[in-house]
Structure 1
Amino acid sequence: MIRVLVVDDSAVLRRLITTVLAADPDIEVVGTAVDGLEAIEKVDELAPDAVTLDVEMPRLDGIGAVEVIHRNHPRLPVVMFSTLTERGAAATLQALSNGASDYVAKPTGAGNVGESMARVREDLVPRLKALVGARRMVAAVPVVRRAAPRAAAPPQVLVVACSTGGPDALSRVLAALPAAFPLPVLVTQHMPPVFTTQFAQRLDRVSPLEVREAADGDQPRPGLVLIAPGDHHLTLVRRGASVRAQLDQGPRENFCRPAADPLFRSAAGVHGPGVLGLVLTGMGQDALEGARAVVDAGGRVVVQDEATSVVWGMPGAVAGAGLAHEVLPLDRIAGALTGLAGRALTPAP
């Protein structure tokens, strides 16, 4: 059983979330709290396996509460409930920086109770199971490192995939890359609209590279990081002598839009063996088929290891399929990328 503490100052939402979670045979709601201070006390008292935490609450909000909870219980998964607004996005991104594991959209109340319950069930339950499962799992996926291509081409582009735990992981990687990093960088992080705009702005403040949300027709270049906008796939296309970013609202892949598979596939189609792929922490298997396309084209793939991933779903799927050339802890990834990208500074022999 997954023991969950539900924290929200709204009695209606506490009841709705509790009802949804209690209906799942694998989940037990062990308690509720109405604000951040009570949440901190209940975590110590009840020792739950996971916490759902509202962002805006009296006395102590979710941003402050998750910082204390994460400091006292660093491996305890905390899922934030957020409104899909600029204010909600800013608060949620701060909560993720303070140690929250993931977030889900708060029901708006625009639909009926049944629709709200269905949304919470679809969005929250899989996250709780993945996060708690990752915390309990012990080295279940065998890692098969792929041999480097014999005649590897110099890399021309870095494409990145991330989801659950990705905001913090990506922030650390980009902050550690040098200002002279010689490759254009394109990123798919599973996020809704509004969130990706603010996410790009936050990354721009911590990275020596320029980071911004991608626009249709952007020309990737060294020193620039383009983030896929929420609800749009980001891909690469060749237009004459130049390569451009392209946005579209094609079908969801792996239940996601943006999804990483379209980005990786398109990069392999445009740059062939010149693609360097990176798969960071995330739930599900998005980027698996994209990584396969990169490897089939002669490119290289680096993934984050299990020990430093919040959820080893996406990188684990790639590693388990034997498509990863390197499986590295988070703090070694920027250095490895810089070393691999350094080959772009000199022509291939």
Structure 2
Amino acid sequence: MEETPTHSPYKVLIVDDSAIVRGLVTRMMAEDAEIDVVGSVNNGEEALAVMERGGIEVVVLDIEMPVMDGLTALPKLLEIDPTVRVIMASTLTKRNADISFQAMTLGAVDYIPKPSSSKDLNVGEGFREELLDKVKAWAEQRRKMLEVDEAAASEVAQRAEEAEPEAKPASPEPDGGASDDAASEGKAHAFRAEMSVEHQQLQKQGRIQRKRFTAELRPRPMQQQRHQPAQMRQTPQPQQPAPSAAPASQPDTSAAKTPATGAAAGRPAAPSRDPGRLIRDAAIAAGGQPKSAPKTAARPATKAPAARTAPPPKRQAAPAPQKAARAPQARSGSAPAPAKRPSARGGISLLPEKRINVEAIAIGSSTGGPQALFEVLRGLNGVRQPIFITQHMPATFTTILAEHITRLTGLKCQEAQNKMPIVGGQVYLAPGDYHMTVEGRGGGRHLMLNQNPPENFCRPSVDPMLRSLVASYGGNILTAILTGMGQDGMLGGRDVVNAGGMVVAQDEQSSVVWGMPGAAAHAGICSAVLPVGGIAAYIKKFAGGR
């Protein structure tokens, strides 16, 4: 018998022009008690109508549809709710793979390759497992990020409320208008400064999901209003209209679906942007202020509805089930997942760092990996060592991923080929459905591909890559294990450490799924567990580079 989930079901919208595909996918999801299919529609225009009603956490979005295709609908969906997680679904063609990656630069968080026929779809157990895993992982990640912002908002609100009595006694009655305004203005500046520091602390290292990886990517109008306070680059100006008021990122509130209408109409735009008001009403501060970054899931703080008159309890009103849903994420692998994210490092012991002669850099990743890879690799410009990557991904998609890595990071990335010689400073990506290994020593090293049985249910797999690197480079290897389900990379990482190399893992807060990096961290083989934004600098500390 199926266990009853300890959290409310994840709310999912399916958008596909094939009635057969919609029916089969809906049935797959309906069989899982942790998922509630809120809607199933056949084009982007209908999807927008469902989104306007609110409550959607994940959208599975087809690419090719009549009336409005997936790429056209994507920014419009994110405009309605910047925190919704959009997973692109497409058949395995080079064109669709390329569009899926374009969509990820425009705000989609992931992709899933659909079987090419309804018959394949019906019997495709692998497709079902991958679909359910990704939907749950991204929905849970969204809830956790909203929870982080809720906690931050409550803290800021409490500080603001504590500071209020000190600033008030000076001029209670005389000159009600002018002096009050002046005092309020002064407090506003102080509050801005405090908020900047607070947000810098929260955003500094963990900005990952939905982040733009090139300068020109996606400033969406709904966001621009609220984007500035959280980023700390500019001081917010009290007169912005804030069209998408806090409810837009709240999945289960009635206001969430009307970012441009309900929010703007029900409350003057100023309150969520006016620091003076935020000080007077800590609850509004908790709801409105942190909801800034659409793209980093970490920033959309959305506790608005719960806050009306008093600072909300720390854990109260984020989408109901934030905490309990950690376990399901690791269901497809045996990775140990800690019970609570904030205390992720509690049970982890780190190995001492050591100076090693780094000759090779190895990276393993899975769910959420493309975004994390872009982030890490962009910081590795100038390294002289070859970089080997295994990302769990099907054929065709790895070809496009290699092109996007080259385009977005400045590093030359190639999909590995048999007998390809290894050159320093270049990136080699394992092709879909093949394990990538290294053979030879010194100047005679080259890549080899094989279709040996999957390891950790994956091909390509990280473990065989790491074992071969140890055989070729000894302990002169620096390995990074990034976000992903399961525990691939943990055993290979142990071999790296036993040979004298080092392993760094991505931390839980910046991971979509803390399966692979969590397994490495809990195995006691890591010298560091870091936010994704700190991993490149850590690698360069030992590997050198500009």
TM normalised by structure 2 equals: 0.59
What is the CA–CA distance in structure 2 between the aligned matches of 1:301 and 1:89, rounded to whole Å?
A: 31
Alignment of 1:129 with 2:331, yes or no, is no
Do the aligned partners of 2:353 and 2:527 also contact (CA within 8 Å) in 1?
no
Structure holding more strand per residue:
1
Do the aligned partners of 1:211 and 1:226 also contact (CA within 8 Å) in 2?
yes
Alignment of 1:166 with 2:173, yes or no, is no
* Alignment match of 1:247 (pick from 442, 449, 454): 449
Q: Which amino acid aligns with 2:48?
A: I
Alignment of 1:227 with 2:234, yes or no, is no
What is the CA–CA distance in structure 2 between the aligned matches of 1:277 and 1:68, rounded to whole Å?
A: 39
Q: Which runs of 5+ in 1 are unaligned?
A: none
What is the CA–CA distance in structure 1 between the aligned matches of 2:452 and 2:491, rounded to whole Å?
A: 17
Quick one: percent identity of the two aligned structures? Answer: 40
Q: Secondary structure at the match of 1:111?
A: helix
Q: Secondary structure at the match of 1:273?
A: coil
Alignment of 1:64 with 2:69, yes or no, is no
What is the CA–CA distance in structure 2 between the aligned matches of 1:319 and 1:68, rounded to whole Å?
A: 39
The alpha carbon displacement at 1:38 in A equals: 2.7
- Give matches, 1:150-161, under 5 Å: 150=354, 152-161=355-364
What is the CA–CA distance in structure 2 between the aligned matches of 1:259 and 1:70, rounded to whole Å?
A: 33
Q: 1:7 to 1:141 in 2, by over 3 A?
A: farther
What is the CA–CA distance in structure 2 between the aligned matches of 1:41 and 1:145, rounded to whole Å?
A: 50
Which segment drifts farther, 256-265 or 235-244?
235-244
Alignment of 1:323 with 2:330, yes or no, is no
Alignment of 1:45 with 2:247, yes or no, is no
Per the alignment, residue 15 of structure 1 pairs with 23
Q: 1:314 to 1:63 in 2, by over 3 A?
A: farther
Q: 1:296 to 1:195 in 2, by over 3 A?
A: same
What is the CA–CA distance in structure 1 between the aligned matches of 2:75 and 2:121, rounded to whole Å?
A: 32
CA distances 1:273-306 after superposition (whole Å, capped 9, x unpaired): 2010011111221111111111111111112222
What is the CA–CA distance in structure 1 between the aligned matches of 2:73 and 2:34, rounded to whole Å?
A: 26
* Alignment match of 2:409 (pick from 200, 207, 213): 207
The alpha carbon displacement at 1:141 in A equals: 7.0
Q: Which runs of 5+ in 2 are unaligned?
A: 1-8, 143-321, 327-339
The alpha carbon displacement at 1:74 in A equals: 4.5
Per the alignment, residue 91 of structure 1 pairs with 99
Which structure's CA Rg is the greater one? Answer: 2
Q: 1:34 to 1:237 in 2, by over 3 A?
A: same
What is the CA–CA distance in structure 1 between the aligned matches of 2:438 and 2:65, rounded to whole Å?
A: 42
Q: Which amino acid aligns with 1:45?
A: R
Per the alignment, residue 25 of structure 1 pairs with 33
The number of residue pairs the alignment matches comes to 341
Q: Secondary structure at the match of 2:445?
A: strand
**RMSD over aligned Cα atoms:** 2.3
Per the alignment, residue 284 of structure 1 pairs with 486
Q: 1:75 to 1:320 in 2, by over 3 A?
A: farther
The alpha carbon displacement at 1:149 in A equals: 4.5
CA distances 1:19-59 after superposition (whole Å, capped 9, x unpaired): 12112222221112222233233234131232211111233
Do the aligned partners of 2:344 and 2:508 also contact (CA within 8 Å) in 1?
no
Do the aligned partners of 1:5 and 1:32 also contact (CA within 8 Å) in 2?
yes
The alpha carbon displacement at 1:75 in A equals: 4.1
